[in-house]
């Protein structure tokens, strides 16, 4: 038979539960930090995307203006 008393079994179970809870708290903290980091990264990427869209629009407008000037020069010649 086992030498474990009901009280020592309960204490062991409580220690296991405490260890598991500590592990869960660490996991939650890590996930919160990861989530914060990912949100910051997403904000940065959204801003970068908006800037790239704006630059693309400006470049498109400049190319269209050049094409129109070339067409005007061609028709004037």
Report pLDDT digits (tens) over 4-57. Answer: 677 888 999 999 999 999 999 999 999 999 999 999 999 999 999 999 999 999
Beta-carbon contacts of residue 12 (< 8 Å; ≥ 6 apart): 4
Residue written as token pair 């086992």: 2
Q: Using a cut of 0.75, tell me whether the model's pTM lies above it.
A: no
Measured over all CA atoms, what is the biggest interatomic distance in the chain, rounded to whole angstroms? 109
Confidence of residue 1 (pLDDT cuts 50, 70, 90): very low
Which comes out higher in pLDDT, residue 72 or 76? 72
What is the spatial distance between Cα 68 and Cα 76, in angstroms, rounded to a whole number?
12
Dihedral angle of Cα 14, 19, 23, 28, to the nearest 10 degrees: 40
């Amino acid at each position: 038979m086992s030498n474990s008393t009901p009280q020592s079994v309960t204490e062991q179970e409580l220690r296991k539960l405490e260890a598991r809870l500590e592990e869960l708290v660490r996991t939650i903290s890590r996930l919160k930090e990861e989530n914060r980091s990912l949100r910051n990264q997403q904000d940065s990427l959204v801003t970068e995307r908006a800037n790239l869209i704006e630059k693309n629009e400006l470049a498109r407008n400049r190319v269209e203006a050049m094409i129109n000037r070339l067409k005007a020069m061609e028709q004037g010649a």
